[in-house]
Amino acid sequence: MEGPQQFPAVQIDAGQGNVVMTDRNNYAYFLIGSQWYKMDSLTLQHVSVGPAGIWGVALEDGVYKYVAGSFVYANDHTLEQVDAGGDGQVVGVTHTSTIHCLKSTIASDYREQSTVSWTTLPGLLTYVSCSSKYGCWGVNSAQNIYFTKVTPSTCGISGWIQVDGLAVMVEIGTDGSVFVVNRGGEVFQRQGIDSSTPQGTSWTKIPMPSRINHVSYDRGNLWVVTDYGIILKCLC
């Protein structure tokens, strides 16, 4: 069904009961009830919400954290996409596909502008998403899908394991549920995920009324953005 609209939407992220989004004008919004509220005058290409707070990437690739009603610049790094869904840590990728992680002790406590030290992770990804449960997922420029476990306090990882399938983006929810969008705008959910098999076993297609550009999952709700910029909210 249709969710609350802020047309045209581009990207959406949900975590811990909160939902944020960016529109085609690159403004960030926060959902309260059924109404979107503009968060700041800063223009962002990507925004994410999770245990580490609300983090965003500006048009010039600068990284910001939302603190007390405004976005505070986090010096020392540029990213193209950021994810705050991990267990306190923040991860992101650059336009050259390098992967970076901000330790949970730094990310969660960040309050005022200062230089922070990011940890570079092995591998190359174009999109990355983490959860406090079961680790991180990512996709690369060849649309291959990967999974790894991560230690939030050190940003150490177990190593990227390739998972079957192809996708242009992947999102893991707080409960460990994983969804991907492929190049054709189709949405799939990973099945068989548990503590012994965190990478899951197979994919199930989720029927959608149109091509999908972006997905996010939290507390039983799958939030999707269609290629027309419409927000849909599905109970999954």
pLDDT level of residue 4 (50, 70, 90 thresholds) = confident
| 221 burial type by CB count under 10 A (0-12 exposed, 13-18 middle, 19+ buried) | middle
Domains assigned to the chain: 9-235 (2.130.10.30)
Instruction: Sheet containing 169-172: give its strands across.
Output: 169-172, 178-181, 187-191, 202-206
What's the pLDDT score for residue 1? Answer: 63
Are 7 and 232 contacting, i.e. CB atoms less than 8 angstroms apart?
A: no
Q: Per-residue pLDDT tens for 24-51?
A: 999 999 999 999 999 999 999 999 999 9
What is the amino acid identity at position 122?
A: P
**pLDDT band at residue 185 under the 50/70/90 scheme:** very high
Tell me the CB-side half-sphere exposure of residue 233, using CA atoms within 13 A.
Answer: 13
User: Could you tell me the pLDDT band of residue 5, with boundaries at 50, 70 and 90?
Assistant: confident
Q: What is the pLDDT of residue 109?
A: 79
- Provide the percentage of residues in the chain whose pLDDT is more than 70: 98
pLDDT at residue 13 is higher than 80: yes
When pLDDT is cut at 50, 70 and 90, the band that residue 110 belongs to is confident
Nearest to 236 by CA among 220, 224, 225: 220
